[in-house]
Amino acid sequence: MTTINSQKRIAIIGGGPGGLTLALILQKHGIAATIYERGGVEGNAERGGSLDIHEDSGQFALKEAGLLEQFQAIARYEGEDFRLFDKSGKVYMDEVAEEDGGSGRPEIDRGDLCDLLLKDLNPETIRYGYKLTEAIPLTDGRHELHFDNGEKEIANLVIGADGAFSRIRPLLTDAKATYTGLTMVELHVDTNAHPDLAAFNARGKVFALDDRKGILAQLNGDGKIKVYLTFTAEQEWIDTCGIPFEQPVEAKNQLLTHFEDWDDMLKNYIRYADDTVLPRRIYMLPLGLRWERKPGVTLIGDAAHLMSPFAGEGVNLAMFDAATLALAIVEHEDMEQAIQTYEAKMYDYSSQSAQGSDDNLKLMFSDNAAANLKGLFDDLHAQFAEQ
């Protein structure tokens, strides 16, 4: 039997929300782990925008990490405001969040969330500038980890928290992240410079859906609106569409032509955008992915169950996985039993979220998407009212 507490060589690959939460909950229980992160300390602020943290998953993990009250003090409950339009500007939904916490999904910027987690983490736990290049299984269940800075480490338990294109995943499965058929172009609007759009956007999210496209906007804590222009497109579209993404002015002009017959206020999300124009393809792992158990290795977060962002679950699941795995490690002296307990639970809840996310993707980019999405919310509200 390989025990955790006697050896304590736990390596977490990736210092995103999942990896940080895992290390912090282990630390709270006196179990040491090391995070190896390819980027620098500033990395988390740069990737991704405002995230809604769900009560039963992300907030549960924060509670286990001893951070729930601190999170609640900085979370933006008003960020749950939601407005839904079609391309003509017709309003389908205009929800204003309750000040007392609304549906229990307050917002926080990704950078602030990671800062919160990092603040309590022993600084020696995380090593920046360690990009894993290879993990070699040894005969006794341990793994030899190779990093691009030339360093090597041996770990009894290696946890892949290294996101969509995990280098740990191939140790467990041949499954690869595949393109969902959607490409997003990320833009940023400074609300201070554009009060008309700030008023239109209100305090949270705006979705405009039509023609199998979308303008998805969310106000971030720094006063900027992150805008995701979303296209149903071939995987090569970024290279073949002819939009010069590296020339922001021309790129925005050409992006506008894709929304020519959309309402003027909606087009302001493109007209007012600053010079950051970031195209990105959206990928997912196969729904319900499982793997054959192998000793000394597992996955959490996007590495385990990458899904499109349309259920708003990605970060919540990454943190919930972290809590579930950490608590299993605390509970079971036997490492393999801990992993098995975690994986069984994770397969169950993550497959439901992945299915939900995929259903939402199909609905949001269907014909009459705004009406269909409103119908879905109406059904959910009715179910909620019955409970």
The residues of the shown chain that bind ligand FAD, judged by CB under 6 A, are: 13-19, 36-39, 43, 48, 51, 130-132, 161-163, 167, 184, 228, 301-303, 309, 312-316, 318
Q: How far is the CB of 73 from ligand FAD (least distance, A)?
A: 21
Distance of closest approach, residue 230 Cβ to ligand FAD, in angstroms: 9
- Chain centre distance of CA 27: 23
The SS3 call for residue 69 is helix
Q: How far is the CB of 334 from ligand FAD (least distance, A)?
A: 25
State the nearest-atom distance from the C-beta of 38 to ligand FAD, in Å. 4
| 36 vs 77, beta carbon nearer ligand FAD | 36
CB nearer to ligand FAD: give 111 or 314. Answer: 314
Between 82 and 130, name the residue whose CB sits nearer to ligand FAD: 130
Cβ nearer to ligand FAD, comparing 235 with 253: 235
Min dist. Cβ of residue 204 to ligand FAD (A) = 11
Give me the half-sphere count of Cα atoms (radius 13 Å) on the Cβ side of residue 40: 2
- Nearest residue to 114 via CA among 38, 34, 17: 17
C-beta closer to ligand FAD: residue 130 or 200: 130
CB of 353 to ligand FAD, least distance (A): 10
Please, what is the minimum distance in Å from the beta carbon of residue 356 to ligand FAD?
12
Q: Which residue number, 245 or 337, has a Cβ lying nearer to ligand FAD? A: 245
Query: 253 vs 70, 89, 260, CA distance in Å?
Result: 43, 21, 10
Minimum CB separation of residue 79 from ligand FAD in Å reads: 11
Cα–chain-centroid distance for residue 125?
23
Contact status, residue 80 vs residue 142, Cβ threshold 8 Å = no
Neighbours of 41 (CB within 10 A): 15
End-to-end CA distance of the chain: 46
- Half-sphere exposure at residue 203, Cβ-oriented, CA atoms within 13 angstroms: 15
Alpha helices (H) along the chain: 4-7, 17-28, 43-46, 58-64, 68-74, 110-120, 195-201, 237-240, 248-257, 264-271, 302-305, 314-331, 335-364, 369-386
Q: How far apart are CA 18 and CA 38, in angstroms?
A: 15
SS3 147: strand
- Which neighbouring-strand residues pair with 12? 35, 159
How far apart, in whole angstroms, are the C-alpha atoms of residue 17 and residue 50?
A: 13
Cβ proximity to ligand FAD: between 120 and 263 the closer is 120
Nearer to ligand FAD among residue 337 and residue 362 (C-beta): 362
